[in-house]
Structure 1
Amino acid sequence: MQTQEKTAIANQPPTEKRYYTPEEYLALEESAIDKSEYHDGEIVPMPGGTANHNKLAGNFYKKFPSTVNTQDYETFINDLRLWIPLTRRYVYPDIMVIQGEPVYQGSNKTIVTNPLVIVEVLSNSTKDYDRGGKFLAYRSIPEFREYILIDQYSYHLEQFAKNSDGKWVLTEYDSVESVLTLESVEFQIPLSEIYERIKFEVEDEEVNEPTSEIEA
């Protein structure tokens, strides 16, 4: 390419970033082939998941009971959106556990607002976001009390539980013999069941890393 052509391209004004209303995002998402999140005006494509990612989420989902000590729970996986009003975000958690009845956004039965427990399976492209900006956004939800992060490349699980003082306490599990005990629900599950039929592979990961920060 000629020097003059390169200079002309370099001097072109940057493309203006497009911002969308929540209504525009939801309309686009209805007909989209691939899922995207909504971050206060920005539409962020979600990376594709691996087979292990799918299995780990499915293993936890299948084991979680619908009733614990006469209390009812609804468990949702992958496709249900979560609306976070304080940060104006629509996201797709891997798993959400809701105590009692789901509280939907308006009349739309595909968007909930009141998860008690959220589970995310970590990947190379999203782990910083899941531990950082996404967790910060989740913590603005009044009903939210427990966050589980599952590593898909090794036996490692992080459990963040909100205690009676409102502080988030971290417990880590690093062995297949470990047993995860939830704090917000009377439920235990061995890591051997979460990692059932998982074969650890080379960390070849998807791209499209989501934004990891929340703007004030």
Structure 2
Amino acid sequence: MQLQTEKRYYTPEEYLELEETTEYKNEYLDGEIIPIVGDTTNHNKICLNFCRNFPLNINSQNYDIYMAGVRLWLSEYRFYTYPDVMVIKDNPIYHGKGKSTITNPQIIVEVLSKSTQGYDRGDKFRYYRSLPSFQEYILINQYSYTVEQYLKQSQEQWSIHFYEGENAVLQLASLDWQISLHDLYQRVDFELVED
């Protein structure tokens, strides 16, 4: 006979209190706390390359860029998460007390892993689309020179563009900036096998 354990549900306040003391980051989805899988060195290099190359001023407009440590709140789904990279135009809009949770990214970047790629393309993208400020979603494959770019056309419609090969150039659509996949994947070792 298999014993069933009762699943515990947390309030957002309980989750935030736990996040202050936990060693590892967790997502929160409508009462459930979900551990975040650890990053690989290639994953980290790709995020750093994107952030390091991104300018903070484009056509006299200011942007902020955040990597992994800043939390995102999506009220429609009661969802806290930590996107790999977020780009915000002008000033962040904060949620709750403090300056660690924002609500207004224009661009979200996720580096795909074998264990999270389905989630990043599916439910997580659906949750992100509930944000009015969200215009562009970039998914970067950490195992080959491959990038997917989703562009908001209307509230219900998004287009997709694919970039493949070291010489391809990712051109953002919601702002005037581009990066070559050569620069995006600088010092990434595709032969390195990581869990």
State TM-score, norm by structure 2: 0.97
The answer to whether residue 182 in structure 2 is matched with residue 196 in structure 1 is no
Q: CA deviation at 1:163?
A: 2.2
Aligned partner of 2:113 among 100, 116, 123: 123
Give 2:14's aligned amino acid: E
Answer whether contact 2:63 2:90 (CA < 8 A) is retained.
yes
Q: Which residue of structure 2 aligns with residue 52 of structure 1?
A: 42
Answer whether contact 1:39 1:90 (CA < 8 A) is retained.
yes
Q: Deviations over 1:115-146 (max 9, x none)?
A: 00000000011000000000000000000000
Distance 1:164 1:37 in 2: 28
Distance 1:119 1:11 in 2: 41
Q: Which residue of structure 1 aligns with residue 75 of structure 2?
A: 85
- Match of 1:86, SS state, is helix
Q: Which runs of 5+ in 1 are unaligned?
A: 1-9, 206-216
Distance 2:156 2:56 in 1: 26
Distance 1:100 1:179, change over 3 A: same
Aligned partner of 1:40 among 7, 30, 35: 30
Distance 1:164 1:39, change over 3 A: closer
- Match of 2:44, SS state, is helix
Aligned partner of 2:85 among 83, 87, 95: 95
Structure having the higher Rg: 1
Give 1:117's aligned amino acid: I
Answer whether contact 2:51 2:65 (CA < 8 A) is retained.
yes
- Match of 2:77, SS state, is coil
Q: Deviations over 1:148-178 (max 9, x none)?
A: 0000001100000112575211000111100
Task: Give RMSD over aligned pairs.
Answer: 1.2
The answer to whether residue 139 in structure 2 is matched with residue 149 in structure 1 is yes
- Bigger relative contact order, structure 1 or 2, given CA contacts below 8 A and separation 6+? 1
- Match of 2:48, SS state, is helix
Structure having the higher strand fraction is: 2
Q: Which residue of structure 1 aligns with residue 159 of structure 2?
A: 169
Q: Which residue of structure 2 aligns with residue 213 of structure 1?
A: none
Answer whether contact 2:26 2:34 (CA < 8 A) is retained.
yes
Distance 1:113 1:42 in 2: 20
State TM-score, norm by structure 1: 0.88
Answer whether contact 2:40 2:194 (CA < 8 A) is retained.
no
Percent of aligned pairs sharing the same letter:
51
